[in-house]
Amino acid sequence: MEEFDNQSLFNLHRSIIKENMEFLYKGNITVAVVNVLLQIVKNKFSEFKIDYSLQKKIYNIAVECLENVSDHGIPGSDIDSIFLIGKVDGVFFIGTGNIINKNVTNSLVSSLNKINTLDRDGLKSIYKETMTEQLGSNSNDVGLGLIDIALKANNKIDYKINPVNDAQDFFFISS
Amino acid sequence: MEVFELEGTRYTPKVVFDVKNKVFEISGDSRPEDTHTFYQVLIDWLSGLNNASVQGDFKFKFAFDYLNSSSSKFIFKLIKCLKGLESNGINFSIDWFYDEPDIDMKELGEEYTELADIKINMISVEV
């Protein structure tokens, strides 16, 4: 087993602080892990010292982000998913990253680009439209969750795509 | 047919449908692992009132602490089901409870009013 020296640990800790990370998880994001992570998020609220309304928003966004990964990610992938909560200049951000198949990337990018052009009224309108349209669908649709994230965050959803191989991308979103 | 009850969990809401005592309530957190199956059972049970010779005026209370986007779709379906029962003389007066600072929950209730074209009483709760 390769040795992990104290200097590496020190550097890692320093990076986490420098990047304004309040909480960081790397590993599989299964339904069981989602439940544990959400409990940790709830426990963190007293540490964050934030009001009830912001607690609800952070919790909402964390649920939608994590459920997107557990519902639409690729289980058993060699590359771990990540989930993080950070804070820059007093503003919280939440992000997830996971492996997806390239054939999903285009539709996800197209949904995100559409969502990011909309103001609050536009988002509310498309949320209602999507909810009505999806009445006949029984799946946990990704569209509604993304619109919900943008609405709760009151902000654009940032995304980055890192190609992993010919068939898969690592997709990171944050808001 | 008279009573349907589910205990609430950390992921699923408490459900009480009690025809005799005229209590209908869904409350707590809603992010079931299989949202469709969870809510379809409730919708099917409520739809069955049509065949159970039930008539009258009932209150239906929604009091969510949290519901995910997937649940919101099925709540809409459930509200439409309640509206559909009116033609058989089963009338629900719907109360939508929300914590006073939770504007998102309040707005969701208002959206259902508009989308389902049904009156929903918005009731704010102090926290």
Q: Mutate which of A59, A63, A65, A66 to test chain B, going by most B C-beta atoms within 10 A? A: A63
- A124/B107 CB distance under 8 A: yes
Judged against a pLDDT cut of 60, whether residue A141 lies above it is answered with no
Looking at residue A123, its pLDDT comes to: 93
Average pLDDT over all residues of chain B: 94
Calculate mean pLDDT across residues B35-59: 92
Q: Mutate which of B38, B69, B111, B126 to test chain A, going by most A C-beta atoms within 10 A? A: B69
- A59/B66 CB distance under 8 A: yes
| Helices (H), ranges, chain A | 6-18, 31-48, 52-72, 102-116, 120-133, 142-153
pLDDT tier at A2, thresholds 50, 70, 90: low
DSSP A79-102: SPEEEEEEEETTEEEEEEEEEEEH
Average pLDDT over all residues of chain A: 89
- Cα separation, A31 vs A37, whole angstroms: 10
Judged against a pLDDT cut of 90, whether residue B55 lies above it is answered with no
Residues B65-111 have pLDDT tens digits of 999 999 999 999 999 999 999 988 999 999 999 999 999 999 999 99
Q: Is B126 on the interface with A (CB under 8 A)?
A: no
In sequence order, what are the beta bridge partners of A97?
A82, A172
Name the range with the highest mean pLDDT among A16-25, B47-56, B67-76. B67-76
The full set of domains in chain A, from first to last, is 6-174 (3.30.565.10)
Q: Which domain holds residue B14?
A: 3-125
- Cα separation, B110 vs A39, whole angstroms: 29
| Residue B24's CATH number | 3.30.750
Residues A30-78 have pLDDT tens digits of 999 999 999 999 999 988 889 999 999 999 999 999 999 998 888 778 8
Looking at residue B108, its pLDDT comes to: 95
Judged against a pLDDT cut of 80, whether residue B53 lies above it is answered with no
- Look at chain B and report how many structural domains it folds into: 1
Looking at residue B11, its pLDDT comes to: 92
Judged against a pLDDT cut of 90, whether residue A83 lies above it is answered with yes
